């Protein structure tokens, strides 16, 4: 099940300006393409954005390697 579908199932989709699914863009974290797709969807820049995640490799290292700030939620 795509993340978008899971959010819709619980009526949470309206709380997000954008949802980027790896299946839609053909790239997954930690690939820079995944982070840059999210930035494009939000019309945001690396410098003004932070990615929050629980995976040191996929989230933190992926975000930092893509030029974003990163927060590790461990």
**Residue 4 pLDDT > 90, yes or no?**
no
DSSP state of 47: T
At residue 3, the pLDDT reads: 81
Say if residues 59 and 70 touch (Cβ distance below 8 Å). yes
Given a cut of 80, is residue 2 above it in pLDDT?
no
pLDDT in tens, 13-70: 999 999 998 988 999 999 999 999 999 999 999 999 999 999 999 999 999 999 999 9
The pLDDT-based confidence of 7 (bands split at 50, 70, 90) is very high
d(CA 27, CA 71) in angstroms, rounded, equals 21
Quote the tokens at residue 56: 């040191």
């Amino acid at each position: 099940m795509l993340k978008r579908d899971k959010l819709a199932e619980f009526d949470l989709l309206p709380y997000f300006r954008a949802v980027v699914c790896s299946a839609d863009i053909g790239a997954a974290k930690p690939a820079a393409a995944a982070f840059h797709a999210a930035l494009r969807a939000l019309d945001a820049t690396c410098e003004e954005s932070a990615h929050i995640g629980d995976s040191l490799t996929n989230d933190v290292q992926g975000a930092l390697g893509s030029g974003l700030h990163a927060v590790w939620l461990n």
